[in-house]
Amino acid sequence: MIKQVNEHKTVSCEDELRFFKAVWNNSEDNLFIVLKTEDGDFITERTNPALVKLFQFTPEQASGSSLKALLPAEAFQKIAQRYNDCLQNNAAVHYEESHVLDDSGGVRYWETMLLPIIDEQTGEQRVFGISREFTRLKRIEEQLKLANERLEEKVKARTKELEEALQKMEKISIYDKLTKLYNRHKLDDELTNEINFAKRYGNCFGLILMDVDNFKTINDSLGHVIGDKVLVEFADVLKQSIRQTDIAGRWGGDEFLIIVPKASRETILHLVNTLQKNIKQHEFEKVGLLTLSIGGAVYKESDDVDSIIQRADRALYKSKNKGKDNFTFE
The band of 62, judged by pLDDT with boundaries at 50, 70 and 90, is confident
Eight-state DSSP code of residue 288: B
d(CA 176, CA 182): 6
d(CA 229, CA 283): 12
Q: Is 254 a catalytic residue?
A: yes
Four-point Cα dihedral 280, 296, 256, 304, nearest 10? 170
Assess contact for 100 and 106: CB atoms under 8 A.
yes
Q: Which helix (H) or strand (E) holds 259?
A: strand 255-261
Eight-state DSSP code of residue 117: E
Q: What is the pLDDT of residue 10?
A: 64
DSSP line for 31-94: EEEEEE-TTS-EEEEEE-HHHHHHHT--HHHHSSEEHHHHS-HHHHHHHHHHHHHHHHHTS-EE
Mean pLDDT in residue range 205-221: 95
Cβ-proximal residues to 189 (8 Å cutoff; 6+ apart), any chain: none
Mean pLDDT in residue range 13-26: 87
Cα-Cα end-to-end distance for the chain: 117
Assess contact for 248 and 256: CB atoms under 8 A.
yes
Per-residue model confidence as pLDDT tens digits over 166-201: 877 777 789 999 999 999 999 999 999 999 999 998
Q: Which of 213, 246, 254, 313 is catalytic?
A: 254
Inform me whether the pLDDT recorded for 88 exceeds 70: yes
Assess contact for 47 and 62: CB atoms under 8 A.
yes
> What is the C-alpha R_g of the chain?
45
Whether pTM exceeds 0.85? no
Inform me whether the pLDDT recorded for 140 exceeds 50: yes
Q: Is residue 123 helix, strand or coil? A: coil
Cβ-proximal residues to 79 (8 Å cutoff; 6+ apart), any chain: 42, 67, 71
Q: What is the pLDDT of residue 241?
A: 96
Eight-state DSSP code of residue 9: H
Per-residue model confidence as pLDDT tens digits over 254-313: 999 999 999 999 999 999 999 999 999 999 999 999 999 999 999 999 999 999 999 999
For the beta sheet containing 205-212, the strands, ordered from the edge strand earlier in sequence to the opposite edge, are: 247-252, 255-261, 205-212, 292-298, 327-329
Angle between helices 265-280 and 224-241 (to 10 degrees): 130
The band of 11, judged by pLDDT with boundaries at 50, 70 and 90, is low
Inform me whether the pLDDT recorded for 1 exceeds 60: no
Per-residue model confidence as pLDDT tens digits over 69-84: 888 899 899 999 999 9
Mean pLDDT in residue range 80-108: 89
Mean pLDDT of the chain: 91
